[in-house]
Structure 1
Amino acid sequence: MGKVSTRHIRQLKGKRPVVCVTAYDSIIAGLASEAGIDLILVGDSMGTTHLGFDTTVPVTVPMMLQATASVVRAKPDALVVADIPFAIIRRSPDFVLETCARFMQEAGADAVKIEGGEDVAPTIALLTASGIPVLGHIGLLPQQVYQLGGYRKFGKTEAEKEQLIRDAQALEKAGAFAMVGEMIAPEAAAAVSAATGVPLIGIGCGVDCDGQVLVYTDLLGLTPGYVPAFAKQYANLRETVRNAFSTYAEEVRERKFPS
Structure 2
Amino acid sequence: MSIHKSELKKITTHQFQEMKNRGEKISMLTAYDYSMAKILDSAGIDVLLVGDSASNVMAGHETTLPITLDQMIYHASSVVRAVERALVIVDIPFGSYQGNSTEALRSAIRIMKESGAHGVKMEGGSEIRASVERVLTAGVPVMGHLGLTPQSIFKFGTYTVRAKEEQEAERLMEDAKVLEECGCFGIVLEKIPASLAQKVAREVSIPIIGIGAGVGVDGQVLVMQDVLGITKEFQPRFLRRYADLHTTITEAIVGYIKDVKSESFPNEREQY
Scaled by the length of structure 1, the TM-score of the pair is 0.97
1:130-145 aligned at under 5 Å gives the runs 130-145=138-153
1:31 to 26, 35, 39: 39
In the alignment, structure 1 segments of 5+ residues that lack a partner are none
Q: Is the 8 A contact 2:121 2:142 kept in 1?
A: yes
In the alignment, structure 2 segments of 5+ residues that lack a partner are 1-7, 268-272
State the AA in 2 paired with 1:251. Answer: D
Q: Could you report, residue by residue, the CA deviation over 1:196-216 in whole angstroms, capped at 9, with x for unpaired residues? A: 000110000011111000100
SS of residue paired to 1:218: helix
User: Could you tell me how far apart the structure 1 residues matched to 2:82 and 2:141 are?
Assistant: 21
Q: What residue number does 1:50 align with?
A: 58
Task: Kindly state the Cα deviation for residue 66 of structure 1 after the two structures are TM-superposed.
Answer: 0.3
- The 10-residue stretch of structure 1 (114-123 or 202-211) with the greater mean CA deviation from structure 2: 114-123
Q: What residue number does 1:227 align with?
A: 235
1:169-248 aligned at under 5 Å gives the runs 169-248=177-256
User: Could you tell me how far apart the structure 1 residues matched to 2:38 and 2:9 are?
Assistant: 14
State the AA in 2 paired with 1:20. Answer: M
Instruction: Please tell me whether residue 10 in structure 1 is matched to residue 23 in structure 2.
Output: no
Q: What residue number does 2:270 align with?
A: none
Of the two, which has the highest radius of gyration?
Answer: 2
Task: Kindly state the Cα deviation for residue 76 of structure 1 after the two structures are TM-superposed.
Answer: 3.2
Task: Kindly state the Cα deviation for residue 224 of structure 1 after the two structures are TM-superposed.
Answer: 3.0
Instruction: Please tell me whether residue 116 in structure 1 is matched to residue 124 in structure 2.
Output: yes
Q: Is the 8 A contact 1:122 1:174 kept in 2?
A: no
Task: Kindly state the Cα deviation for residue 193 of structure 1 after the two structures are TM-superposed.
Answer: 0.9
Task: Kindly state the Cα deviation for residue 231 of structure 1 after the two structures are TM-superposed.
Answer: 0.8
Q: Is the 8 A contact 1:42 1:68 kept in 2?
A: yes
SS of residue paired to 1:75: coil
Task: Kindly state the Cα deviation for residue 122 of structure 1 after the two structures are TM-superposed.
Answer: 2.4
> Cα RMSD (Å) of the superposition?
1.0
Task: Kindly state the Cα deviation for residue 150 of structure 1 after the two structures are TM-superposed.
Answer: 1.5
Count of residue pairs brought into register by the alignment:
259
Q: Could you report, residue by residue, the CA deviation over 1:25-53 in whole angstroms, capped at 9, with x for unpaired residues? A: 01111111111111000000011111110
Instruction: Please tell me whether residue 61 in structure 1 is matched to residue 69 in structure 2.
Output: yes
User: Could you tell me how far apart the structure 2 residues matched to 1:147 and 1:76 are?
Assistant: 39
Task: Kindly state the Cα deviation for residue 91 of structure 1 after the two structures are TM-superposed.
Answer: 4.1
User: Could you tell me how far apart the structure 2 residues matched to 1:221 and 1:76 are?
Assistant: 26
4+ aligned runs moved over 6 Å, structure 1:
none
Q: What residue number does 2:79 align with?
A: 71
SS of residue paired to 1:209: coil
Q: What residue number does 1:161 align with?
A: 169
User: Could you tell me how far apart the structure 2 residues matched to 1:31 and 1:20 are?
Assistant: 14
Identical pairs, percent: 39
Q: What residue number does 1:257 align with?
A: 265
State the AA in 2 paired with 1:5. Answer: T
- Choose between structure 1 and 2 for higher RCO, CA contacts under 8 A separated by at least 6 residues: 1
